[in-house]
Amino acid sequence: MKPQRKVLGSILSAAVMLTLLAGCGGQTPAPAAAPAAPATTKEAPAPTDNKKLVVGFSQIGAESGWRGAETASIQETAKNDPTIELKFSDAQQKQENQIKAIRTFIAQKVDVIAMAPVVETGWEAVLTEAKNAKIPVILVDRNIDKKNEDLYTTFIGSDFVLEGQNAAKAMVEHLGGKGNIVELEGTVGASAAVDRKKGFDDEIKKHPDIKIVKSQSGDFNRATGKQVMEAILKSPEGKNIQGVYAHNDDMALGAIQAIEEAGKKPGSDIKIVSIDGIKEAFEAIKAGKLNTVVECNPLLGPQLFQAAKDLKAGKQLDKWIKSNEEVFSGQKAIDALPNRKY
Ligand code: GZL
């Protein structure tokens, strides 16, 4: 056999051998083209930074149904959002506990501090420490003294003066323009109490035949509201009362108990107007024991964490992120009851 033929023959035999080997292993050799890209290659984007946004929240306590609904909204929103880590502290109504919690959040270097300030004053030192630590502060549901507004980024909450005005307009209507009123005030020094009083009292002043004969704090609490109302009903003023304005539903529900125990009919002998909009207040309207409730939205969790994310994304926030609210009486309240969320 000529040498060229020999070489050709060996090449052909090698090719045949190679083909046979491939057939056995069931593995067809990868085509000459680029190898298949493995699951991750150095060109893939680096894994995203999965550091959570850490928010320290100082809650006032658990003084009312409204407060409980706000806590639930904040905790559930955080629990359902994998990008958020919530550090939650309950101050049990004490400002010193809120100040301690804020100092702890600063030491822990949280990304954002949020709080519902129990009263308007006494925050300058601790919020200055937060500012110096470059940790932004978001106020939720209650505000602090205007002179310190440079110490927080935004306030997420209601217009309490408007709530008080709306409560007064409802009371004037229920009384037909004349009568004596008892005012059950919220926590002394709390922005919600200060502004709900201002809104209500200023509106009532437009009606000279309506008088606020007694105004006292029930601390936004049902038991305290009942005790205060019991004492007022036993006082000289208590003999001639046509209306009760409560800064929140829990105190109104306490007052309703006291009025019934005194042998009078709440909702008819004595008209009752309150603020918050918890389900029990709607049920009291349906039972004819309460006349108007002015809504104050406690479901602030989604707005809080959206604001925190916007802050960390470098967005500019409004100084006041307002909640939108309605006023409920009579059939409107009864129709709304099945859909109430808190
Ligand atoms: C309002 C909130 C008030 C509620 C009360 O934003 O601060 O505190 O009206 C609660 O029920 O105790």
**Most ligand 1 atoms within 8 A of CB, residue of 60, 63, 67, 143 to mutate:** 67
SS3 112: strand
> With contact defined as beta carbons under 8 Å apart, do 254 and 269 qualify?
no
Atom of ligand 1 nearest to the CA of 249: 11
Identify whether the C-beta of residue 323 lies closer than 8 Å to the C-beta of residue 300: yes
Atom of ligand 1 nearest to the CA of 158: 6
Q: Is 160 in the pocket of ligand 1 (CB under 6 A)?
A: no
E-strand ranges in 2-83 read 53-59
Predicted model pTM: 0.85
Fold of 53-157+298-323: Rossmann fold (3.40.50)
From 248, 293, 322, 325, the mutation candidate for ligand 1 (largest count of ligand atoms within 8 A of CB) is 248
Overall CATH class of domain 160-296: alpha beta
Sheet-wide strand order for 292-295: 210-217, 179-185, 243-246, 271-276, 292-295, 327-329
CA distance 94 to 127: 17
- Tens of each residue's pLDDT in the chain, 342 residues: 344 445 455 555 544 444 444 333 333 334 344 444 433 344 444 444 678 999 999 999 999 999 999 999 999 999 999 999 999 999 999 999 999 999 999 999 999 999 999 999 999 999 999 999 999 999 999 999 999 999 999 999 999 999 999 999 999 999 999 999 999 999 999 999 999 999 999 999 999 999 999 999 999 999 999 999 999 999 999 999 999 999 999 999 999 999 999 999 999 999 999 999 999 999 999 999 999 999 999 999 999 999 999 999 999 999 999 987 899 999 999 999 999 999
Find the 181 Cα to ligand 1 centroid distance in Å.
Answer: 21
C-alpha distances in angstroms, 323 versus 65, 81, 340? 18, 22, 16
**CA neighbor of 130 nearest in space, from 58, 185, 76, 186:** 58
DSSP state letters, 227-254: HHHHHHHHSGGGGS--EEEESSHHHHHH
Give the up-direction half-sphere exposure of residue 203: CA atoms within 13 A in the CB hemisphere: 21
Of residues 174, 143, 130, the one with CA closest to residue 271:
174
Is residue 185 within 6 Å of ligand 1 at its C-beta? no
Q: What Å distances lie between residue 15 and 6, 11, 76, 127, CA to CA?
A: 14, 6, 68, 81
Q: Where in the chain is the domain with CATH 3.40.50.2300?
A: 53-157+298-323, 160-296
Q: Quick count: other Cβ atoms within 10 Å of Cβ 273?
A: 28
Centre of ligand 1 to C-alpha 338, Å, is 22
